Structure 1
């Protein structure tokens, strides 16, 4: 008798249900969890499996379900949703579409992300340049020009890398401010502006930037690089920027920013 023949069909179904409920592959679900789903004790489960967890996995595979050996649902779903957003837009990125692309159940997405907004938030966190920029500002020194250039590179990388998640979310937020992307921007924008704003205030206190209102200063910092991207069609269907060309643009725009915001009589942007 094979391993598959040993395992009762109700235990196979219980294992699959437990996996879907936890957002895991069957192979990742503990035997106590399978036993609880089946309404029996762990010892009873082990006995009915013939003493082998391998038998359960083999029976699940024979039932047409991959028991494991794959990435967790969370990683598969985030990547699948990112591709859908970049290629088809936010409206097409339904939980059903993500489940098909990630080869999981809609229920497992609800369990893992607590709904579509939770999934989109994790996609945003995985592809936004915000955290890279925060890290740059956290270790910034006295060389303003170098810091601004690094911020620009991180900003451009985040907006131009494949899949094009950030541009798609931004476009959706601008067209539908009350939609899912708009809620994401509303959630994360204050954090981004607070972090950059704190850094700019510190630069003003250190005398590397002239005293001026914060909002115009933020516009001076981010406006030119965003305009560069838009004018180069990098947020749309145009080709991605060439490495050297893009790098040089970041250097030149950083230089222009430093000169524009320098205190009177100082255009060096350093110590």
Structure 2
């Protein structure tokens, strides 16, 4: 038989201070409020867990309802890290790297600057997280880690990843390329350059070296091979939004573009 309870957890009053403490605890840890333990909230509130539960009527239900009443879904809000990465990407795409500050990202992500420092450590680290999310570097590393001997299949897969990353919204990669070309001495651009170019080179060089040693491609400097492989597709994707607006210049399907450039690269470097 079900036992009734005259005072449900919903009726327990929760102070605004405790709601703010719970929200701040979630921001600092970069998680949703519902994922912050009662022990952590109690610690931030300066009370014991048992005292906190007693104030809440024995469960966290009342706190979750109070957080929801404050306009925040305790379970559905994205973690601070994810919101900040998305906000940073939108800023880079719309206004360039120079527009990205922790203060502006905090406003757009609906969090505090302190929470961004807690999650990332600083602006440079946050930019690196944005670039890693919106660049193809992780997928490129995964493709090359498979060590396939299918040269054309590998080249074609890399082209597909590059085209997808360069063409999707928000247009982070085109904005970063524009910044690198216009202001290569800029601290933000240099941070990304020094962090990711060596990492990408470290992934592609062993693969190209192995293809050279296997006699499948010409023995050329790896840097030149990388530039010969990537430059035509990058240039096509970067100017594609502009050429799409030119009359009588229809866009080719991206799959056809990737096939064409992959075949052109292999004709230039592949050995019989």
> Under a length normalisation based on structure 2, what TM-score does the superposition of the two structures give?
0.84
1:184 aligns to 2:214 (yes or no): no
1:73 aligns to 2:85 (yes or no): no
| 1:240-251 superposed matches below 5 A | 245-251=253-259
Give 1:196 shift.
1.0
Q: In the alignment, which residue of structure 1 is the partner of 2:266? A: 258
Give distance in 2, aligned partners of 1:4 and 1:92. Answer: 46
**How far does the alpha carbon of each residue in 1:128-165 deviate from its partner, in whole angstroms, 9 at most, with x for none?**
11222222223353332232222112112111111111
| 1:1-271 superposed matches below 5 A | 3=10, 6-63=13-70, 66-174=73-181, 175-230=183-238, 233-234=239-240, 239=244, 245-263=253-271, 266=272
- Evaluate the alpha carbon distance shift between residue 154 and residue 54 of structure 1 in structure 2; reply closer, same or farther with a 3 A threshold: same
Specify every segment of 5 or more residues in structure 2 that has no aligned partner in the other structure, as ranges: 1-6
- Evaluate the alpha carbon distance shift between residue 247 and residue 25 of structure 1 in structure 2; reply closer, same or farther with a 3 A threshold: closer
Aligned residues: 261
| 8 Å Cα contact 2:131/2:172 also seen in 1 | yes
| 8 Å Cα contact 1:132/1:154 also seen in 2 | yes
Give 1:15 shift.
2.5
Please report the RMSD computed on the Cα atoms of aligned residues, expressed in angstroms.
Answer: 2.7
Specify every segment of 5 or more residues in structure 1 that has no aligned partner in the other structure, as ranges: 267-271
Question: Which is worse superposed, 122-131 or 54-63?
Answer: 54-63
SS at match of 2:66: helix
Give distance in 1, aligned partners of 2:49 and 2:227. Answer: 62
Give 1:238 shift.
5.7
| 8 Å Cα contact 1:17/1:37 also seen in 2 | no
